[in-house]
């Protein structure tokens, strides 16, 4: 079979400043799946499954408003699709000045916003991939979810064609079609989680379940929560990353509540949700600050 030729595109995507590139890279780094993603101090590279075939995306960050983009495409016609995905991943439609002003008005977040201006909610390059990652991440650590995704991808994920494979980027993230052919036993891990994943993969593969930009958030959330094994945390997280919902506060997330506690905020779901009403309509960004704060010592300086 003939290897695809590589069509290289170099361009840039402009973001509004301030822009917390370091935080976005940290978020991607701790979730990076081996063979699919590589994250450095100043860049992000990954394989992509696009309509015209496998591709490779590269992003390079500096202190400017322009993020350098490199695309190695099987089909040049995929350029616009890929750039739209980059814009979603970088959350380019966010208004950082308005978000920071709103969050900094809460004394509990004032110092954090000053320390991390322009925080973003990382979007996605593949809605189907996010639902697989999110189900794998239910009630386990980020590291455990990353390991599970890596094992599945290594076992059944498609290899990149020789013309596009580069060091560290040798596979595409496992697809719903590939997962749908597995049994729960073959997926491994907690049986209920595996069953939830197989069922979701089969419905994604045949179009019964659609997880993509453009879906009505309330409708998609209701569909997801109605599925056995999927709870509010999963549905909210998917709405935030796939649909770009700016006002989701995942109070069911333990790390997020740990961060809240370290900032002197309530750390029970109900009390944190009540306090978080003052962050509307930007609760998703407040959640990013709380996740980051969970890395602080128990008695933070900020």
pLDDT of 218-259, one tens digit each? 999 999 999 999 999 999 999 999 999 999 999 999 999 999
| 298 has a pLDDT exceeding 60 | no
Interatomic CA distance for residues 177 and 201, integer angstroms: 7
In this prediction, residue 6 carries a pLDDT of 78
Would you say 249 and 284 are in contact if contact means Cβ atoms under 8 Å apart?
yes
Do you know the residue count of the chain?
302
pLDDT of 256-279, one tens digit each? 999 999 999 999 999 999 999 999
| 165 has a pLDDT exceeding 90 | no
In this prediction, residue 30 carries a pLDDT of 95
Interatomic CA distance for residues 157 and 248, integer angstroms: 31
At which residue do the structure tokens 């900094």 appear?
104
Would you say 37 and 44 are in contact if contact means Cβ atoms under 8 Å apart?
yes
Phi first, then psi: give them for residue 7, nearest 5 degrees. -105, 110
| 207 has a pLDDT exceeding 60 | yes
| Strands of 130-250, DSSP E | none
Averaged pLDDT for residues 15-35: 96
In this prediction, residue 1 carries a pLDDT of 40
Taking the complete model, does pTM exceed 0.85, yes or no? yes
| 302 has a pLDDT exceeding 50 | no
| 202 has a pLDDT exceeding 80 | yes
Interatomic CA distance for residues 166 and 221, integer angstroms: 37
Would you say 33 and 150 are in contact if contact means Cβ atoms under 8 Å apart?
yes
Interatomic CA distance for residues 185 and 194, integer angstroms: 8
In this prediction, residue 301 carries a pLDDT of 35
Mean per-residue pLDDT over the chain, rounded: 94
In this prediction, residue 282 carries a pLDDT of 98
| 296 has a pLDDT exceeding 90 | no
């Amino acid at each position: 079979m003939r290897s695809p030729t590589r069509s290289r595109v170099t361009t840039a995507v402009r973001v509004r400043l301030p822009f917390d590139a370091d935080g976005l890279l940290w978020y991607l780094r701790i979730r990076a799946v081996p063979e699919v993603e590589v994250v450095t101090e100043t860049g992000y590279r990954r394989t992509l499954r696009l309509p015209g075939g496998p591709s490779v995306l590269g992003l390079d960050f500096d202190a400017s408003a322009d993020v350098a983009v490199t695309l190695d495409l099987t089909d040049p016609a995929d350029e616009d699709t890929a750039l739209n995905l980059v814009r979603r991943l970088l959350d380019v439609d966010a208004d950082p000045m308005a978000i920071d002003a709103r969050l900094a008005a809460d004394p509990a977040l004032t110092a954090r916003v000053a320390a991390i201006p322009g925080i973003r909610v990382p979007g996605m390059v593949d809605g189907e991939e996010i639902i697989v990652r999110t189900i794998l991440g239910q009630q386990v650590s980020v590291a455990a979810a990353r390991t599970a995704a890596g094992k599945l991808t290594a076992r059944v994920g498609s290899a990149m064609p020789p013309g596009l494979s580069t060091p560290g980027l040798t596979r595409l993230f496992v697809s719903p079609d590939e997962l749908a052919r597995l049994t729960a036993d073959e997926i491994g891990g907690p049986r209920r989680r595996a069953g939830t994943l197989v069922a979701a993969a089969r419905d994604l593969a045949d179009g019964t379940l659609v997880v993509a930009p453009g879906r009505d958030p309330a409708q998609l959330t209701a569909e997801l929560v109605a599925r056995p094994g999927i709870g509010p945390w999963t549905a909210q997280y998917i709405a935030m990353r796939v649909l770009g919902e700016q006002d989701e506060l995942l109070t069911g997330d333990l790390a997020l509540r740990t961060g809240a506690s370290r900032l002197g905020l309530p750390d029970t779901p109900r009390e944190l949700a009540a306090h978080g009403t003052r962050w509307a309509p930007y609760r998703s960004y407040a959640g990013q600050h709380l996740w980051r704060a969970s890395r602080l010592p128990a008695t933070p300086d900020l």
